[in-house]
Amino acid sequence: MKNEIQRMQAVQSPIIPVVGELIRSCPGTISLGQGVVYYAPPPEAGQQISRFLALPQNHKYQAVEGITPLLEAIAAKLWVENQIQINQNNCIVVTAGSNMGFMNAILAIANPGDEIILQTPYYFNHEMAIAIASCRPVLVRTDENYQLLPDAISSAITNKTKAVVTISPNNPTGAVYPQETLQAVNEICRQRGIYHISDEAYEYFTYNGVKHFSPAAIPESNDYTISLFSLSKAYGFASWRIGYMVIPQHLLVPVKKIQDTILICAPVISQYAALGALQAGVNYCQEKLQAITKVREIVLQELQSISELCIIPPADGAFYFLLKIQTDLGAMELVERLIREYKVAVIPGTTFGMDDGCYLRVAYGALQAETAQAGISRLVKGLQDILS
């Protein structure tokens, strides 16, 4: 029992509930913290609920990998939008969000003590999942614009390495990785006989004409590429808990063992709603993205007014900026002061592995323009006052 307790003590506590409790203690706080969108699912998602209820069989367990109509809709989407073809070498598994997909992947490919390469800044739930699986995260720095460094990734690979993880568009930085860079990382994985885990939860959220690229579209990459997708962001589906994996066919049996043990199958009512969302299609998200783009411009303009206090690397994707603050204050200390004194919440960079300075993640996808203006104005004033 002692070993299990020690294992979980090594896993960081999720930061979102911690900041959430601070927000609750300071009524009126505007959150620039949690990464959710401002809009609800499309009407087509709700319309599918009556179809679910009309079939009594739906109240029983369904196939571990997902219901057939949803699998077919996902396969069609992957081919048209991502140029990923589902064939005899790969397959789809519907999950309860892409976090579960990542956990499935790590448990399926790695043994305790194996290594998984993460880029820093990393997504904290990825680092937590690796620790929970008793594996070791190997951290590789990105450049000053949070872009991948393929040579550094290659140098970090050892005989214990099982996978390289990339997230594009990126949480927490908003960086989007160019196709040629992702191809280079994917080729490194092919040559070294390891997996490339590609998290693409923010695939639709790009700006300034920047394009998203899916590594699984690379010819002959099916055997070692694992792709993770989510409806949480694009379709306002966060609480419905639906994501999906594209995995090599040889991983299907272990992934099904894991998912059957933890979940059995993703909630079937949510799978029906997801089917409706995919019928609405990418146009639904793109319409909503226009409003997020306007909010992004408001946030960026305000932040640029304090460029002497923080560095704002380019962020052409997702709905985040990861700021490097010019201060000796600790990130969490600064977060607490911003909430208590200025009633605006952001996330400390330490939770993303950034401990060489003071970093703050600013999220803007959940806010309407007026609220975003008020929130970012509070942040700017807070930073000006605290750091002056």
The string of pLDDT tens digits covering residues 322-355 is: 999 999 999 999 999 999 999 999 999 999 999 9
Question: Encoding tokens for residue 328?
Answer: 């000796």
What confidence tens digit (pLDDT) does each residue in 21-70 have?
999 999 999 999 888 999 999 999 999 999 999 999 999 999 999 999 99
Map out the domains of the chain as residue ranges. Answer: 2-40+283-387, 43-280
Cα 70 to Cα 67: distance, rounded to the nearest angstrom:
6
Q: Quick one: pLDDT band at residue 10, thresholds 50, 70, 90?
A: confident
Angle at CA 90, nearest 5°, toward 89 and 91?
140
Cα 163 to Cα 119: distance, rounded to the nearest angstrom:
12
Nearest to 282 by CA among 39, 32, 77: 77
- Residue 104's pLDDT is 98
Alpha carbon 311 to its chain centroid, in Å, reads: 23
CATH code for the domain defined by 43-280? 3.40.640.10
Mean pLDDT of the region 174-185: 98
Mean pLDDT of the region 82-104: 97
pLDDT at 2 over 80: no
- Residue 16's pLDDT is 83
Cα 249 to Cα 209: distance, rounded to the nearest angstrom:
34
pLDDT at 184 over 60: yes
Number of alpha helices (DSSP H) and beta strands (DSSP E) in the chain: 13, 13
Alpha carbon 357 to its chain centroid, in Å, reads: 23
- Burial annotation 63-77 (CB, 10 A radius, 16+ → b, else e): ebbbbeebbebbbeb
Taking the CA atoms of residue 189, residue 195, residue 196 and residue 198 in that order, the dihedral angle to the nearest 10 degrees is 180
Question: Is the distance from CB of 299 to CB of 374 less than 8 angstroms?
Answer: no
- Beta strands of the chain (E only): which ranges? 30-31, 90-95, 115-120, 136-141, 161-167, 195-199, 225-230, 243-248, 310-311, 320-325, 344-345, 347-348, 358-363
pLDDT at 383 over 80: yes
DSSP state of 57: G
pLDDT at 202 over 70: yes
pLDDT at 11 over 90: no
Determine how many CB atoms are found less than 10 A away from the CB of residue 5: 8
Question: Is the distance from CB of 204 to CB of 39 less than 8 angstroms?
Answer: no
Mean pLDDT of the region 304-316: 94
At residue 23, what is the residue type?
A: I
CATH code for the domain defined by 2-40+283-387? 3.90.1150.10
At residue 318, what is the residue type?
A: A
What confidence tens digit (pLDDT) does each residue in 215-266 have?
999 999 999 999 999 999 999 999 999 999 999 999 999 999 999 999 999 9
